[in-house]
Amino acid sequence: MFALRVKKEFTEEVRKNLFKMGLVDKKRVFLKNGGYVEVPLIRKLEKDEMELFKRQDARLINKKLSLKIFSKTPFETILEKTDIENKSLLPKKWEIIGDVLILKIPKGLEKHEKKIAKIYADVLNAKTAVKDMGITGRYRKPRIKILYGSSTETMHKENRIKFRLDASKLMFSSGNIDERIRMAYVSNNNEIVVDMFAGIGYFSIPIAVYSKPKKIFAYEINPDAYRYLCENIKLNNVQNVVIPVFEDNRNANENIADRVIMGYLKNTKDFLPKAFKILKKSGGIIHYHENYPNELLPEEPFKNIKKAAEKQGKTVKLLGFRNIKSYSPGVSHVVLDVKVRS
C-alpha cells in the first residue's frame, strides 16, 4: 500500500488536490509523523502525478496506514443533542473563523436560535456563535447577531498564515481558501504588486509569505479592516514586503505594478480603468473577481475587461478562469487572470 509523505504545512493543499483527483484512501487515517503528515492513497502515484507535488517536496512511501474507526459526524451529534420540532431544518453547513461560529438560522427556527447556537458551539468547539444575516455595503461588512458567547475577535490560521479579525465587523470567506492558496504562489521576487481591495490581507499576506515580491501596496478604506491589515502584517512578519495604504484605491500611484489584484464583488468593473493605470505602461497581470450568472461565463466578465482595455489602447489575453464558489443559485464568484499589453 502507498502513502504520500508531505511537510505538515503543505498537508491542506496536497490533501485537497489528492481528493480532487480521487486518490485518497478515505477508509484509512492520515498519520502525523514528526514534521510530516502521511496521506493514505488508493494506489501508487505515477511519475507525472508525483510531478504535481514536486513544489511541496512530497515523497511516495510504501506504507499501510491504519483503517479509520468510524465515529459520528459533528452534525449527527448536533441532531442527537437537539430536542426541538423541525429538526430537519437545522443547518448542515456553517463557517468557522478561528473559534467563532457563523451560522445561518433558517426561517421557522428563529425562536430556538439561542438554544441551537449553544449546541452547535459546544459540538464544534466555538467560543462564540453568531447569526449570519448577509454582507452589506462597500466595506463588505457582515450583518450579524451574537447568539452565544460574547467576544467576536479571533485568530484564523490557514496555510501557515495567521489572520486576526473581528468577525462581527469583517468578513472572512472560508470558501475562498483555494484561491488564497493559489494566489500565495502567483508572484515572484521581481514583481511589484498592488492589492486594490486588501481587506485584512486575505491575498497580500499569503503572497508576501510565499512569493516574496519586492513590494505589495495594499489599499484599504475601511478603518477596521485597515487596523487588522496592519496587525496581520506584523503577525506574519512581512513588514518589509507589504505596505498598507489607508486610502481609496482610486488615488493609488500609477504605472508602478506588474500585478494588480481586484478581490472585490461590488461593481468591480468600475475599478478596471484605474487597475489598467496602476499597471506599468509595459503591461502586467490583473486578477479580476466578479459575480456572474453561470451561463455567461467566462465571456461576459472578459468583455468588461476588454472594453476597459480598449478605451486605454491596451490589449488583453485571458490566461485563466476559475470558479471560486457559488454566490447564489445560478450565480458564481469567479476570477479571471488577464495578461495586459500596451
| Site for ligand SAM, rule CB under 6 A | 138-140, 171, 173, 176, 197, 199, 202, 219-222, 225, 248-250, 263-264
Q: How far is the CB of 226 from ligand SAM (least distance, A)?
A: 8
Q: How far apart are CA 73 and CA 56, in angstroms?
A: 30
Rounded Cα distance, 262 and 257, in Å? 13
Nearer to ligand SAM, 125 or 136 (CB): 136
Shortest Cβ 305–ligand SAM spacing (Å): 17
* Residue number with CB closer to ligand SAM (79 or 221): 221
Give 4 or 161: the residue with its C-beta nearer to ligand SAM.
Answer: 161
- Provide the residue type at 246 as one letter: F
**Residue nearer to ligand SAM on the CB measure, 112 or 227:** 227
| Nearest alpha-carbon partner for 272 in 340, 180, 171 | 340
Q: Measured between alpha carbons, how far is 216 from 236 in angstroms, rounded to an integer?
A: 14
- Enter the DSSP assignment of 64: -
| The C-alpha cell that represents 239 in the structure block | 513588514
Name the packing angle between helices 11-20 and 177-184 (round to 10°): 120
Closest approach, Cβ 287 to ligand SAM, in A, equals 10
User: Considering the complex, what minimum distance in angstroms separates the CB of residue 294 from ligand SAM?
Assistant: 20
Strand 2-7 with 128-136, pairing: unpaired
Of 142 and 284, the one with the shorter C-beta distance to ligand SAM is 142
The CB-of-267 to ligand SAM minimum distance in angstroms stands at: 9
Q: Among residues 10 and 139, whose Cβ is nearest to ligand SAM?
A: 139
> CA-CA distance, 306 to 111, in Å (whole number)?
50
3-state secondary structure (DSSP) of residue 301: helix
Alpha helices in 145-239 (DSSP H): 177-184, 204-210, 223-235
- The least CB distance from residue 106 to ligand SAM, in Å, is 24
Cell of 300: 461576459
